[in-house]
Amino acid sequence: MKPFLAIVFAALFPVLATAQQAVEIPTPMPEEAAVLAAKGLDLNDFLWLSRPLIIFADSPNDPRFKKQIELIEADLQPFLDRDVVIITDTDPKNPSALRTRLRPRGFMLVLLTKDGSILWRKPAPWTEREISRSIDKLPARQQEVRDRRAAAQ
């Protein structure tokens, strides 16, 4: 399974360079993670399946955007474990539905819960550890952990 995920990520990370290139993939399953461009996405496709982590910037060259992508690429496994789908939007001149709904100003990091509500918005990059800890505090995540432990026994 791990080699398959490595291939999937290797195929999806070039999307980060262009950030708005259309990528057509099936709806993410809980055990998968993906990096997607925001253009043409509907958040309803992720309801109860994934936690969207949306990274907004005015340009793919924004230093904060680059830093956030580096922080995410450094360790992907915690995002996979927490059913996180990473969505990027770096084109304010052609606003996506996500940009219109969330109205970022410059760089913004937004984490949505599986029910579609906004957990937090941050104006600066966060490490994987900070993101993971905020997700792990959610009652839904704690229940997921309990359910996985019970299934493993």
Which superfamily does CATH assign the domain made up of 2-152 to? Glutaredoxin (3.40.30.10)
H helices within the chain, ranges in order? 2-12, 14-18, 63-74, 77-81, 97-102, 128-136, 139-152
For residue 20, the cross-strand partners are none
Tell me the pLDDT of the chain (153 aa) as tens digits: 444 334 434 444 444 443 444 333 334 444 445 578 878 888 899 999 999 999 999 999 999 999 999 999 999 999 999 999 999 999 999 999 999 999 999 999 999 999 999 999 999 999 999 999 999 999 999 999 999 999 998
Q: Where are the domains of the chain?
A: 2-152
- Rounded to two decimals, the pTM is 0.76
Residue carrying structure tokens 């104006």: 123
| Cα(141)–Cα(134) distance, integer angstroms | 10
Q: Directed axis angle between helix 128-136 and helix 63-74, to 10°? A: 70
